[in-house]
Structure 1
C-alpha cells in the first residue's frame, strides 16, 4: 500500500504538471500572434481544456482503453459510456487496478493528454478561423478521433500486437503528430492570413508579446517533466530519473542547435527559432525518453533543432501560414522522434524501424482523412474563415466584443 501511495502521488503531481502545460500553450500562442486576437486564442484554449475533459469522461477514456480481446482487429472498441469504479471480486474498490496508481488517477492523467491535440491545431489556425467551426472540430477530434487512434497503441490495439510492436513512450506520434496532421489539413483548407504572402514571398507578421511566448516555452518545458515523467506510470526512481534527464538534454540541445542553424542561415539571433528549437527537442525525445542514453538524447534534440529551422522554411515555401510553427514542431519533429526509436537507444534495429514507419503511416491516414472530412464539410456548409473585415480589425472585437488590453490598445490593421 505504501508503494501504491508513492506511485499514485507521483502520477497526480505529473497530472498537475501536464495541466499546467495548457497555460504554456496559451502564453506561447498569444505571444506569437497579434494583440487583436488574444481573447479569441484564450477562449479557444479554455474551451479545449474543459470540453476535452468532459468528452474524455463520457466517451474518450473507454474508446481509448476498450479492453481489446484476443482475435479482435484492434482498430475500434468501446467499453461503454462514462466512468465506473473498478471493483474487486469481493465488491470493494480496486485501488491498485493498474499495479501502480488508481483508476481515477489514470483517467485524469490520460485526460490531460487528450486536449493537447486540439491545442496544437489552435495555434496553426490562429487569427483567421471562425470560433464556432473550431469548437465543432475540437469536439469531434478530441472526443472521437484522438481516443480511437490512441487505442491502436496505448489501448492494446493492432500496433501494439505487431510482431515488433510500434513504440511511442509518451506521444511523439500519438499526441503531437495527431495534432500536427490535423494542423496541416486545417491550414491548407483555411489559406494564409491577409498580408502573409506578397508576390509569393512570405512576410513576417510579428507576435505582439515575445516575453510572454518565452514564458510559455519555459512553462511547457517544466510541464514536460510530467508529460514524460508521468508516462513511466510509476515513481520508479531509476527510470523516472533517466526520463527527466533525457527530456531536458534533448530540449537544451534542440534550442542551441536551432539558434545556431538559424543564425548561420539568416544571419540574426532569432529568439523564436530558439524557442521552437527547445520545443522541437522536447517533442523529438518524447517517443523514446525512457529508452535513450544522455548522448542519444542530445543527438535527437540536435537533429530536431536543425529540422525546426528547415521545416519552418519549407512551410513558408509551400505557402502555408502557421503563425506559431506548430507543424514544424509537433508534426515534423514528432515524426523524427518516432523514427529515432529504431535508430537510437535500447530498441534500435531494422524491425523496430519498420514498425515505427507503420505507426506513422497509420496515424497519418486516420488524422488526414478525418480532419479533412470534418473541416471540408464545415467549409462547404457554415464556412470556416472569418470575413476580411473581421480579420483586419481582429477576432476579439468581432467574435467576443472584448479587448485583451483595453487601456493601451494598439491600432492594428
Structure 2
C-alpha cells in the first residue's frame, strides 16, 4: 500500500512538470513585453532638461551633456576614493600579520585610529594648505565664488608657491560638489601616507605619541609637500619657470604619498630604536617572525585591489579613457615585482618567503604609481622588476648594515620605491599623454624618449622630498619624545602592548 502511494506521488509531480514545460514552450514566445529589457529605448529627448519638454534648444542639450560628463567624473572619483579608503583594511592586515601575536590589538588600533585622526586633521587645515592655492577642478566642475589663495615667495625672477591659504574647515565658502569630491579623494590618499610609519614603528610605539604624530603629518607635513607637487606649488612649476620638462610630475603619488610616508617611517624608526631582541650583542640580526602570514597575504591582495582606485582614479575623470592603460600598467608592475622577488630568492638558493613576495608586489605597485599614465606595458614590467629587487636590497641594508628595525619593511617598500617610481617616470614616459600638464605644452616625455629635462625635474622633486620630510620628521619625533615618550616601557614591550596600551587582548587565548 505504501509503495503504491509513493509511486502515485511521483507520477503526479512528473505530470505537473510536463504541463509547465508544455505551457512555457507553446506560450512564452508569443508574450509581448511592455517594458524595455534591453535599455535601448530608455533615455530619450524627453529626459533632457528643457524649458519646453521634448524640445530642448542646442544650449540646453549642451548643458545636459556637460552636466552628465561632470556627473560621470564625480561618480568615478568617488568610487575610486572608496576603493582607496578600503586599502586601510589592507594595511591593517599586512602590518598586523607581519608583527607578533602579543601586539595584535595595538597594531590594529593604530591602523584604525589613523583614519579618523588624519581625516579631521586634513579637514582642519591640511586640505587648505595643500590645495588652497588653486582648486584644480577642471574635471569635477567649476567652483564659482571660490577664490584660491597661495603664499608665494619671489626668487630668481619667479614666484614659488609654498602653501595654500583657502579652504580651512571646508567652511561654507567652499560648499561645492567639486571641492567636496576632491577633499574625499585626497583625504584617503593622505591617510595612506600617515599609515606607513605605523609599520616601521610597530610593536614599541605608545598610542598617545602616535595620536599627536597623526595630527602633525596630516595637517602640516603631507599637505606642504603635496602643495608643491599637486597644489600648483614650486616643484610643479619647474617646467614653466625653468624649462625642466613639465615640472615634477607624480601622477598618483609615488613621491607625494609613498615617499613622504616612507621617509617619515625611516625617521621614526631611527628615533624610536629597534625592538628588544632584534639585534644581538655582536650586531647579529635576529628574525622576529610575524604571527599570521595568511592575514598579511590577504591584506596584500586588498591593497593591490584598492590600487586600481589609487592610480586609475587619479585621472579624476571617468571620461578619460586613459584609465584602461593606467589600470593595466598598475596590475603588471605589481605582478612583475612579486615574481622578481621570488626568482631572486630562488637564484640565491633560498625558499619562497611569502613576506618577501608580498613586499615585492607592493614595491612594484608603489613604483608604478607615478609613471602609470605615461608608459607602455613593457616599461611597467621593467619598473616592477627593478622595484622587486630594490625592496629586497633595501631590507637587507636596513637590517644588516644600518641596524634599523623596520618590522614590515615600510621604508624599503614605500620610501625606496617611491623614489624609484618618480625617477622612472623621468626615464620611461613615452610622450603619448599629459599635454598641458602643469601648464607646459606637449606630452610628458622621459629621457629614453628624448627629453632629459624631465628627469632633472624628477630628481629635484625626489631630493626635496627626502631632505624636507626626513629633517622635519626627525626633529618632530625627537621633540615629541621629550614631551610624550615615543617608546613603550620595556616590560610592556616584552609582554605585549595589547593590555598596557588598549586594555584588551587581540586574541583572548
Deviations 1:271-310 (A, max 9, x none): 1110000000000000111001000000000000111111
Which of 70, 90, 93 pairs up with 1:27? 93
- Are residue 142 (structure 1) and residue 229 (structure 2) matched? no
- Secondary structure of 2:379's aligned partner: helix
Alpha-carbon RMSD across the aligned residues, in angstroms, is 1.5
In 1, Cα distance between equivalents of 2:377 and 2:289: 36
Which of 428, 435, 451 pairs up with 1:344? 428
- Are residue 272 (structure 1) and residue 355 (structure 2) matched? yes
The equivalent residue for 2:382 is: 299
The equivalent residue for 1:260 is: 343
In 2, Cα distance between equivalents of 1:247 and 1:236: 19
Q: How many residues align?
A: 396
In 2, Cα distance between equivalents of 1:393 and 1:201: 23
- Secondary structure of 2:160's aligned partner: coil
The equivalent residue for 1:319 is: 403
The equivalent residue for 1:188 is: 270
The equivalent residue for 2:301 is: 218
The equivalent residue for 2:197 is: 121
- Are residue 175 (structure 1) and residue 245 (structure 2) matched? no
Following superposition, the deviation at residue 264 of structure 1 comes to 2.1
Deviates most, 342-351 or 243-252: 342-351
The equivalent residue for 1:310 is: 393
Following superposition, the deviation at residue 73 of structure 1 comes to 2.2
Deviations 1:4-50 (A, max 9, x none): 11111111110100000000000000000001111111111111100
- Are residue 78 (structure 1) and residue 165 (structure 2) matched? yes
In 2, Cα distance between equivalents of 1:64 and 1:140: 14
In 1, Cα distance between equivalents of 2:126 and 2:425: 27
Structure of higher CA gyration radius: 2
Deviates most, 335-344 or 236-245: 236-245
In 2, Cα distance between equivalents of 1:345 and 1:354: 13
Following superposition, the deviation at residue 336 of structure 1 comes to 0.6
In 2, Cα distance between equivalents of 1:382 and 1:166: 37
- Secondary structure of 1:76's aligned partner: strand
Deviations 1:242-281 (A, max 9, x none): 0000000000000001111123225111111100000000
Following superposition, the deviation at residue 362 of structure 1 comes to 1.1
Q: With CA pairs under 8 Å and 6+ residues apart, which has the higher RCO, 1 or 2?
A: 1
In 1, Cα distance between equivalents of 2:206 and 2:423: 35
In 2, Cα distance between equivalents of 1:299 and 1:284: 11
Following superposition, the deviation at residue 342 of structure 1 comes to 1.2
Residues 5-44 of structure 1 correspond to what in structure 2 (within 5 A)? 5-44=71-110
- The answer to whether the 8 A contact 2:114-2:191 is kept is yes
- The answer to whether the 8 A contact 1:183-1:326 is kept is yes
- The answer to whether the 8 A contact 1:255-1:276 is kept is yes
- The answer to whether the 8 A contact 2:151-2:163 is kept is no
Following superposition, the deviation at residue 84 of structure 1 comes to 3.8
Deviations 1:174-233 (A, max 9, x none): 010101111111111111111111221111111001000001000000000110011011
- The answer to whether the 8 A contact 1:262-1:309 is kept is no
Deviates most, 73-82 or 242-251: 73-82
- The answer to whether the 8 A contact 2:72-2:319 is kept is no
- The answer to whether the 8 A contact 1:86-1:103 is kept is no
Following superposition, the deviation at residue 405 of structure 1 comes to 1.1
Following superposition, the deviation at residue 379 of structure 1 comes to 2.1
In 2, Cα distance between equivalents of 1:140 and 1:263: 43
Which of 266, 274, 282 pairs up with 2:365? 282
- The answer to whether the 8 A contact 1:263-1:270 is kept is no
In structure 1, stretches of 5+ residues that fail to align are: 88-92, 96-101, 409-413
The equivalent residue for 2:491 is: 389
In 2, Cα distance between equivalents of 1:61 and 1:378: 24
- The answer to whether the 8 A contact 2:117-2:211 is kept is no
In 2, Cα distance between equivalents of 1:323 and 1:227: 25
- Secondary structure of 2:196's aligned partner: helix
- Secondary structure of 2:291's aligned partner: coil
TM-score, reference length from structure 1: 0.93
The equivalent residue for 1:328 is: 412
In structure 2, stretches of 5+ residues that fail to align are: 1-66, 134-149, 431-444
Deviates most, 228-237 or 318-327: 228-237
In 2, Cα distance between equivalents of 1:212 and 1:278: 16
In 1, Cα distance between equivalents of 2:352 and 2:196: 26
TM-score, reference length from structure 2: 0.76
